[in-house]
């Protein structure tokens, strides 16, 4: 089917976006509204009908998956497409990398070392950059406080240094090291991911006439930060058209430097005409009606599917009981014919995955996880866009050797094709969709997290909106009577109250007489257990030694901080406090210590 025939199959909103030729156009695309189809048909229309060559287009995405999907769909129509033609199709960092590989000076033939980067530079990870900082500090006798937090400090302080700040809040020598780091990276021909965008922006400005771009097309533009916006402005020549799609209701990465106003800032900055894609083709009506309660920008999401089943709301005593239930329910769904890969479990913080993983492993239930954080980091949301780009931007100075974009894409594809349940944070779920979605931990203080500002509260709502709209057909929400995540209340999330009653199928409503009686008895029993435990601790004080130790196969020896019938908590040097389920026997309590 040629492009003209394909356009006829689109709805009127999609057709208008594809055919628009404004100097700048911003499409406010509701979740599940077919924006990828619009992007691809836009590119085909420009190429086939308007005779714009692919080399004169830059098509930017935030994940390799999205970039691959666009390239793959185009290749289906034109089998002879080459990588050279599609040089401008990719993530922000990968396109910046290709510009630098093309326009930076060549390596000196006589082997002379220059004080600036050449086109054979190596891309280094944040860990590599941190090692360079530590090496400079050691060689020069510089003092760095809180080295165990250096990675996080680098993220915050290095950005502040680049904006002109001369001292950080810890008042050590880190800011004196930064100019030496800049010089060392140039001498060693190494670039960080921040360097890619910064240098790519500068080179794009210098090479505007040579690049001579006709169109810039951007996916998920609402996730752009200031540096990416500067890159877009550098690419856009005086005769370059700008077309972008995005959804301000899905801004969930404020810690990356973006915000809910970025969509409207870009509209203002480029003087863009605004179009909409209001029709959702993904989710059933019940799910969309629930999602509309959390919509912050734009009008109501219009549905195109069936009414669908009610949203199930369940109460579990604690995360362990919940995990046991999930294994049984997921196996039941699989036996009914639903592939494991069409099932996902979303949670708010990474720590919630620990019990799920252990219970799933014991039950031999197949599951996959997105790229995880290091074990010694606090449980914060993953950074899916950054992680995917880290592995995919060409050469990486990593322990495992140099990774290529193709290898990274293969890994991502294998994860998607594997028939396994997907476990991930709400942040990591963005851009994905599944037939059956479980959102666990729907307690106040967890979903949503405790917030210190209205902006944080609004982002928590958008994050829950993203989670809801990943489900095509079925959605199940659950909360705990006895949550184990610090800072979480025993009460169900206020978000459950915001959902219309007619959309929900409660296993047991909060406030029902039977539930009140059960909770009263539970509280009474809990208070009695606490009283007995305190009494037992008092009695054992004299006989118990002041310090008890345990051994874990991964973390080594640590001090036992607390334990009860179900859990044991230890503090490990270098890793901090960790909790373990006694049922799995991971901790060996050391005798006689």
Instruction: Confirm whether 573 is domain-assigned.
Output: yes
Spatial distance between the Cα atoms of 114 and 189, rounded to a whole number of angstroms: 9
Q: Are both 333 and 454 inside the same structural domain?
A: yes
CB atoms within 10 A of CB 28: 22
User: What's the pLDDT at 373?
Assistant: 38
Strands 343-347 and 421-425: parallel
Q: Does residue 411 register a pLDDT over 70?
A: no
Q: Does residue 3 register a pLDDT over 60?
A: yes
| Boundary-marking domain end, from 279, 296, 318 | 279
Whose CA is closest to 199, among 327, 101, 87? Answer: 101
Q: Are both 303 and 320 inside the same structural domain?
A: yes
Dihedral sign of CA atoms 251, 257, 259, 263 in order: negative
Spatial distance between the Cα atoms of 365 and 419, rounded to a whole number of angstroms: 11
Tens-digit pLDDT profile for residues 272-289? 999 999 999 999 999 999
Spatial distance between the Cα atoms of 90 and 71, rounded to a whole number of angstroms: 9
What is the pLDDT averaged over residues 21-31? Answer: 95
CB atoms within 10 A of CB 20: 15
| Boundary-marking domain end, from 485, 510, 535 | 510
Domain count, the chain: 4
The reply, when asked if residue 34 is annotated as ligand binding, is yes
Q: How confident is the model at residue 564 (pLDDT cuts 50, 70, 90)?
A: confident
Among 117-121, 412-416, 573-577, which range has the highest average pLDDT? 117-121
Instruction: Confirm whether 36 is domain-assigned.
Output: yes
Q: Are both 47 and 68 inside the same structural domain?
A: yes
Q: Is 457 helix (H, G, I), strand (E, B) or coil?
A: helix
Spatial distance between the Cα atoms of 272 and 284, rounded to a whole number of angstroms: 32
The reply, when asked if residue 240 is annotated as ligand binding, is no
Instruction: Confirm whether 396 is domain-assigned.
Output: no
Tens-digit pLDDT profile for residues 110-166? 666 667 899 999 999 999 999 999 999 999 999 998 888 888 888 888 888 988 888
Q: Are both 495 and 361 inside the same structural domain?
A: yes
Q: Are both 346 and 457 inside the same structural domain?
A: yes
Specify the pTM. Answer: 0.77
User: What's the pLDDT at 155?
Assistant: 84
The two structure tokens encoding residue 60: 């930017």
User: What's the pLDDT at 62?
Assistant: 86
User: What's the pLDDT at 389?
Assistant: 39
Q: Are 45 and 17 in contact (CB under 8 A)?
A: no
Question: Which residues share a beta bridge with 476?
Answer: 312, 438
The reply, when asked if residue 29 is annotated as ligand binding, is yes
Q: Does residue 377 register a pLDDT over 90?
A: no
- Residue 513, CA distances (Å) to 20, 178, 304, 516 in order: 59, 63, 39, 5
The reply, when asked if residue 36 is annotated as ligand binding, is yes
What secondary structure, in 3-state letters, does 142-176 show?
CCCCCHHHHHHHHHHHHHHHHCCCCCCCCCCCHHH
What single DSSP character describes residue 559?
Answer: E
CATH number for the domain that contains residue 309? 3.40.50.300
User: What's the pLDDT at 436?
Assistant: 98
Dihedral sign of CA atoms 68, 71, 75, 77 in order: positive
Spatial distance between the Cα atoms of 47 and 53, rounded to a whole number of angstroms: 6
Q: How confident is the model at residue 63 (pLDDT cuts 50, 70, 90)?
A: confident
Mean pLDDT (the chain) is 85
The two structure tokens encoding residue 364: 């031999």
Domain that holds residue 567: 549-590
Q: Are 154 and 130 in contact (CB under 8 A)?
A: yes
Instruction: Confirm whether 436 is domain-assigned.
Output: yes
Q: Are both 27 and 131 inside the same structural domain?
A: no
Lowest mean pLDDT across 21-25, 474-478, 579-583: 579-583
Q: Is 472 helix (H, G, I), strand (E, B) or coil?
A: strand
User: What's the pLDDT at 253?
Assistant: 85
The reply, when asked if residue 152 is annotated as ligand binding, is no
Q: Does residue 374 register a pLDDT over 60?
A: no
Q: Are both 9 and 31 inside the same structural domain?
A: yes
Q: Are both 57 and 82 inside the same structural domain?
A: yes
Instruction: Confirm whether 19 is domain-assigned.
Output: yes
Q: How confident is the model at residue 394 (pLDDT cuts 50, 70, 90)?
A: very low
Helical (H) or strand (E) element with 44: helix 35-44
Q: Are both 78 and 200 inside the same structural domain?
A: yes
What single DSSP character describes residue 394?
Answer: S
Q: How confident is the model at residue 52 (pLDDT cuts 50, 70, 90)?
A: very high
User: What's the pLDDT at 207?
Assistant: 96
Q: Are both 240 and 176 inside the same structural domain?
A: no
- Residue 236, CA distances (Å) to 197, 243, 346 in order: 15, 11, 39
Instruction: Confirm whether 114 is domain-assigned.
Output: no
The reply, when asked if residue 308 is annotated as ligand binding, is no
The two structure tokens encoding residue 317: 């005593």
Among all chains, which residue has been given the structure tokens 């050469």? Answer: 395
| Boundary-marking domain end, from 279, 295, 311 | 279
Q: Is 545 helix (H, G, I), strand (E, B) or coil?
A: coil
Q: Are both 364 and 447 inside the same structural domain?
A: yes
What is the pLDDT averaged over residues 319-326? Answer: 95
Tens-digit pLDDT profile for residues 540-550? 555 545 578 99
Q: How confident is the model at residue 95 (pLDDT cuts 50, 70, 90)?
A: very high
The two structure tokens encoding residue 404: 């290529």
- Residue 306, CA distances (Å) to 108, 454, 472, 501 in order: 64, 35, 10, 19
The reply, when asked if residue 533 is annotated as ligand binding, is no
Spatial distance between the Cα atoms of 97 and 195, rounded to a whole number of angstroms: 10
User: What's the pLDDT at 285?
Assistant: 95
Tens-digit pLDDT profile for residues 495-541? 999 999 999 999 876 655 555 555 556 556 656 666 666 666 666 55
The reply, when asked if residue 141 is annotated as ligand binding, is no
Q: Are both 447 and 486 inside the same structural domain?
A: yes
Q: Are 242 and 25 in contact (CB under 8 A)?
A: yes
Instruction: Confirm whether 223 is domain-assigned.
Output: yes
Instruction: Confirm whether 117 is domain-assigned.
Output: no
Lowest mean pLDDT across 67-76, 133-142, 190-199: 67-76
């Amino acid at each position: 089917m040629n492009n003209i025939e394909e356009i006829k199959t689109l709805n009127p909103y999609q057709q208008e976006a594809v055919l628009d030729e404004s100097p700048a156009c911003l499409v406010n695309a509701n979740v599940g509204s077919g924006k990828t189809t619009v992007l691809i048909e836009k590119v085909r229309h420009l190429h086939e009908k308007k005779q714009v060559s692919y080399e004169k287009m830059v098509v930017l995405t935030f994940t390799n998956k999205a970039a691959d999907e666009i390239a793959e769909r185009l290749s289906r129509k034109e089998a002879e497409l080459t990588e050279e033609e599609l040089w401008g199709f990719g993530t922000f960092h990968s396109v910046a990398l290709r510009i630098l590989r093309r326009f930076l000076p060549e390596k000196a033939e006589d082997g002379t070392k220059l004080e600036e980067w050449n086109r054979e530079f190596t891309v280094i990870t944040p860990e590599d950059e941190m090692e360079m900082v530590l090496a400079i500090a050691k060689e020069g006798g510089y003092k760095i406080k809180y080295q165990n937090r250096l990675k996080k400090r680098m993220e915050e302080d290095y950005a502040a240094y680049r904006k002109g700040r001369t001292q950080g809040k810890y008042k050590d020598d880190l800011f004196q090291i930064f100019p030496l780091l800049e010089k060392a990276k140039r001498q060693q021909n190494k670039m960080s991911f921040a360097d890619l965008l910064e240098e790519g922006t500068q080179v794009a400005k210098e090479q505007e006439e040579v690049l001579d771009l006709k169109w810039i097309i951007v996916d998920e533009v609402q996730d752009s930060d200031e540096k990416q916006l500067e890159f877009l402005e550098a690419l856009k020549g005086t005769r370059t058209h700008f077309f972008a799609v995005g959804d301000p209701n899905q801004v969930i990465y404020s810690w990356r430097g973006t915000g809910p106003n970025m969509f409207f800032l870009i509209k203002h900055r480029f003087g863009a005409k605004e179009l909409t894609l209001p029709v959702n083709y993904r989710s059933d009506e019940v799910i969309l009606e629930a999602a509309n309660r959390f919509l912050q920008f734009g009008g109501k999401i219009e549905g195109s599917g069936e009414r669908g089943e009610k949203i199930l709301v369940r109460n579990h005593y604690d995360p362990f009981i919940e995990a046991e239930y999930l294994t049984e329910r997921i196996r039941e769904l699989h036996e009914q014919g639903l592939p494991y890969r069409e099932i996902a479990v979303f949670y708010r913080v990474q720590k919630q995955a620990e019990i799920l993983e252990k219970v799933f492993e014991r039950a031999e239930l197949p599951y996959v996880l997105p790229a995880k954080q290091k074990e010694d980091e606090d449980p914060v949301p993953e950074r899916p866009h950054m992680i995917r780009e880290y592995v995919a931007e060409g050469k990486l100075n990593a322990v495992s050797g140099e990774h290529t974009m193709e290898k990274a894409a293969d890994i991502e594809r294998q994860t998607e094709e594997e028939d396994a349940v997907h476990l991930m944070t709400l942040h990591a779920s963005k851009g994905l969709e599944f037939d059956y979605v479980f959102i666990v931990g729907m307690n106040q203080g967890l979903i949503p997290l405790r917030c210190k500002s209205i902006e944080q509260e609004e982002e928590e709502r958008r994050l829950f909106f993203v989670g809801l709209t990943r489900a095509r057909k079925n959605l199940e929400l659950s909360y705990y009577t006895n949550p184990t995540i610090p800072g979480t209340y025993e009460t169900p999330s206020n978000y459950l109250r915001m959902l219309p009653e007619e959309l929900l199928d409660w296993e047991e409503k909060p406030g029902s007489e039977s539930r009140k009686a059960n909770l009263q008895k539970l509280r009474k029993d809990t208070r009695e257990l606490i009283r007995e435990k305190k009494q037992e601790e008092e009695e054992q004080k004299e006989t118990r030694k002041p310090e008890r130790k345990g051994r874990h196969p991964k973390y080594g020896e640590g001090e036992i901080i607390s334990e009860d019938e179900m859990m044991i908590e230890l503090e490990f040097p270098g890793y901090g406090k960790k909790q373990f389920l006694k049922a799995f026997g991971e901790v060996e309590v050391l005798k006689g210590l």
